A and B are shown apart, each in its own frame.
Chain A
């Protein structure tokens, strides 16, 4: 058991014993990998682990704990998701206790039928902007290289997105595992009046992915939960990164880094006209 794991378990146990929180959301070991864990008793905190398989974004589970005090283990990207959720009024800062863990990246998942002899960091971890959560109540230091690094530019333009989208099964795993996709009636799930049908029609797959990208633009924290849940390996994080680059270039806004700046496309009255483009190409 490594030092960060020990520290994590002690911390979670004391939080539960003192009654600061009712549940601690963390990761536990499953038979071949890691899965989310909900510890409500101090004894259950023995199951908590921390390693490079901790891929899923636990902030996704916060929507099931409204009005309850909950502690959550957060990597850098998880913390950014929590910040965005607070900005969008989905999570109350008073209700959560963020246990930030220093993350040095997670491995690409090994999935059915494609064994991988060597484990590599995921693509989105190479673009990591903050290895420690921007909001934290406690900090668990971890071994491994945690220095901040300038991310390389996105290269989403080189992929053949149309053929990648054609593989999609419309399983909705990307939508359901995303912390920021909290709409009860998702616009691309086929609820009537429907933008696209509920049953997967191949000609509508482009609409599905483009609409999802538009809804994630400027909000996606690039945690990669969508990409690691996808059974047909569509590199969604790369696409959303391209749109986040647009926000960075035009509004100097990076989602999830701090609670201060409001979401960018919210305009206040009385703003000066400023530069404008007339009949721009």
Chain B
């Protein structure tokens, strides 16, 4: 293999299937739901990397943009349902932010389905795994995002 010309090896790399990379910002309660999915054996695809945050409202939309720029193909926010919280403001803020960000991404030319919220309680591991599997297949259909490459390409 070492003596093969570079272009053959390049073709090998391209032929390997691209797998979507998804970053999930999980809030405290929903991350226990995500853990539970693991405990109870609900399977979900391994493409999802979870980052635990204390509350979904901590996630600044700038961080989501940065995640997309650094190579994520989609970003997921899991948040607590407002019916289960004493205060509803964080959920409203998160919902508004994600909606605004989706509108911005649509304007700029990035598919808005790449950023989503999931409302997961701490006992809904099954819901999480089901939804995430759906999301991964959707992102596979959308294709790789490759924002870095798009910005470095010559016009």
* Direct contact, A vs B (beta carbon within 8 Å): yes
Q: What residues of chain A have their CB less than 8 Å away from a CB belonging to chain B?
A: 156-157, 160-163, 165-166, 187, 195-196, 202-207, 210-211, 213-214, 217, 239, 242-243, 246, 250, 265, 267, 269, 271, 273, 276-281
Kindly state whether residue B17 has any CB partner on chain A within 8 Å: no
Contacts of A277 in B (CB 8 A): 95
Q: Is the CB of B62 within 8 A of A187?
A: yes
Residue ID in chain B nearest A187 by CB atoms:
B62
B93-134 contacts to A, CB under 8 A, are 93, 95-97, 99-101, 103-109, 113, 116-119, 131
Q: Is the CB of B155 within 8 A of A163?
A: yes
**Closest chain A CB from B74 CB (angstroms):** 13
Kindly state whether residue B83 has any CB partner on chain A within 8 Å: yes
Q: How many residues of B contact A (CB 8 A)?
A: 39
Kindly state whether residue B7 has any CB partner on chain A within 8 Å: no
Distance, CA A125 to CA B91, complexed state (A)? 37
Contacts of B82 in A (CB 8 A): 273, 276
Q: Is the CB of A213 within 8 A of B62?
A: no
Query: Which of B103, B117, B150 has the most chain A CB within a 10 Å cutoff?
Result: B103
Beyond A214-B61, A278-B81, whether A195 also contacts B66 by CB under 8 A is yes
Beyond A161-B107, A162-B150, whether A281 also contacts B62 by CB under 8 A is no
Q: Is the CB of B104 within 8 A of A214?
A: yes
Instruction: Pull 18 A–B residue pairs with CB atoms less than 8 Å apart, ordered by A.
Output: A157-B106, A162-B108, A162-B150, A166-B151, A203-B69, A207-B62, A207-B65, A211-B62, A214-B62, A214-B65, A217-B100, A242-B104, A246-B103, A265-B93, A267-B93, A269-B87, A271-B89, A278-B119
Q: Is the CB of B89 within 8 A of A205?
A: no
Kindly state whether residue B13 has any CB partner on chain A within 8 Å: no
Distance, CA A267 to CA B96, complexed state (A)? 11
Contacts of B117 in A (CB 8 A): 280
Q: Is the CB of B152 within 8 A of A202?
A: yes
Distance, CA A213 to CA B100, complexed state (A)? 10
- Not counting A161-B107, A165-B151, A214-B62, a sample of 5 additional A-B residue pairs whose C-beta atoms are within 8 angstroms of each other reads A162-B109, A203-B151, A206-B151, A214-B65, A273-B88
Q: Is the CB of A269 within 8 A of B151?
A: no
Q: Is the CB of B65 within 8 A of A250?
A: no
Kindly state whether residue B148 has any CB partner on chain A within 8 Å: yes
Kindly state whether residue B92 has any CB partner on chain A within 8 Å: yes
Distance, CA A162 to CA B119, complexed state (A)? 32
Q: Is the CB of B152 within 8 A of A203?
A: yes
Contacts of A160 in B (CB 8 A): 109
Q: Is the CB of B151 within 8 A of A205?
A: yes
Distance, CA A92 to CA B118, complexed state (A)? 42
Residue ID in chain A nearest B112 by CB atoms:
A281
Beyond A214-B100, A273-B83, whether A202 also contacts B151 by CB under 8 A is yes
Kindly state whether residue B51 has any CB partner on chain A within 8 Å: no
Q: Is the CB of B101 within 8 A of A214?
A: yes
Distance, CA A162 to CA B148, complexed state (A)? 11
Nearest 9 A/B pairs, CB to CB: A267-B89, A161-B108, A203-B148, A211-B62, A210-B65, A246-B103, A242-B107, A203-B151, A207-B69
